[in-house]
Amino acid sequence: MKTISENRCFGGVQGVYTHPSAATGTDMTFGLFLPAEAENGAVPVLWYLSGLTCTHENAMVKSGAQRWAAEQGIALVFPDTSPRGEGVANDSAFDLGQGAGFYVNATQDPWALNFQMWDYVTEELPRLLFNAFPLEEGAQAITGHSMGGHGALTIAMSFPGRFASVSAFAPICEPTRSDWGRKQFTAYLGSDETLWAGHDSTHLMRRFGFDGPMLIDQGTSDQFLDLLRPEALAAAMTERRQGGIVRMQKGYDHSYFFVSTFMEDHVDFHAQALRG
């Protein structure tokens, strides 16, 4: 692992690091904010998964999350959204290929060689982080935006007991019935739709639910609202009688202006869950 940068931030340190990944077969970059408390021992950690076209940097720079995480003594992890580099498969469309890993393990050519983002985010990167930094493995929460909200929800429901809480900003809620999902799942996973269900938060909610608190914020003026399908997840939560909060925020769109507006709420929400 190599240090790209480390900057003092709200009494803690915002770092950017790169490392060779066995899962993706490429070098991967991530951001990690450590609050001041990490100088004296392990701290809880909040994962933030970013959306389409993003790198590790977007939320790290635009969300304002460090301020609120510093107040709560929580670390923040900002993974990249896909493998990158020369020789890594790509597509001319913004919603497929580099920057659009969808947090799945691809099985189809040409994506299967490098696009193993599920294993990277759920197995490889956690091992690296908990071995190299003062983080509490037993005190994790997860959030994300758009494609990253999809990833946060599906990962949280697929690993019972790992995360104390889950939240999402404008998540892709039913990708198996949306062009943001069907296109990518066909490319990455093939045409057998039975293999897609494990990466659909509405399906997972109906089947498993989540064993902790949930918070979802969605803007009513989101330009991608028809692709996100929050009503499907809300209906599944109601059918299952899942504890959780779904908020439709009047007038907000899909941008980081929306994310940063409600970031304090989400960090405080996770801090309360992480404290037990």
Q: Could you report the per-residue pLDDT of 20-54, keeping only the tens digit for each?
A: 999 999 999 999 999 999 999 999 999 999 999 99
Q: Which residue bears the tokens 């290929």? A: 97
Which pLDDT band holds residue 276 (cuts at 50, 70, 90)?
confident
The two structure tokens encoding residue 264: 């304090």
Just give the CATH number of 2-275: 3.40.50.1820
Q: What is the pLDDT of residue 259?
A: 98
- Asked if residues 206 and 240 have their Cβ atoms less than 8 Å apart, the reply is yes
pLDDT tens digits for range 49-97: 999 999 999 999 999 999 999 999 999 999 999 999 999 999 999 999 9
Domain ranges of the chain: 2-275
Q: What is the pLDDT of residue 10?
A: 98
Q: What is the pLDDT of residue 100?
A: 98
Question: Alpha-carbon distance 92 to 104, whole Å?
Answer: 20
The two structure tokens encoding residue 216: 């979802």
Residues belonging to the active site: 146, 222, 254
Q: What is the pLDDT of residue 213?
A: 98
User: Residue 152: CB partners within 8 Å, gap ≥ 6?
Assistant: 47, 49, 142, 143, 144, 166, 167, 168, 171
- Asked if residues 169 and 222 have their Cβ atoms less than 8 Å apart, the reply is no
Q: What is the pLDDT of residue 204?
A: 98
- Asked if residues 78 and 31 have their Cβ atoms less than 8 Å apart, the reply is yes
Percent of the chain with pLDDT over 70: 100
Is a pLDDT exceeding 90 seen at residue 105?
Answer: yes
Is a pLDDT exceeding 90 seen at residue 144?
Answer: yes
Per residue, the 3-state secondary structure of 212-267, as one string, reads: CCEEEEEECCCCCHHHHCHHHHHHHHHHHCCCCEEEEECCCCCCHHHHHHHHHHHH
Q: What is the pLDDT of residue 53?
A: 98
Is a pLDDT exceeding 90 seen at residue 241?
Answer: yes
Q: What is the pLDDT of residue 152?
A: 98
pLDDT tens digits for range 247-274: 999 999 999 999 999 999 999 999 999 9
What is the rounded average pLDDT of the residues 166-170?
A: 98
Is a pLDDT exceeding 90 seen at residue 215?
Answer: yes
Is a pLDDT exceeding 90 seen at residue 233?
Answer: yes
Question: Alpha-carbon distance 99 to 70, whole Å?
Answer: 28
Mean pLDDT score of the chain, rounded to an integer? Answer: 98
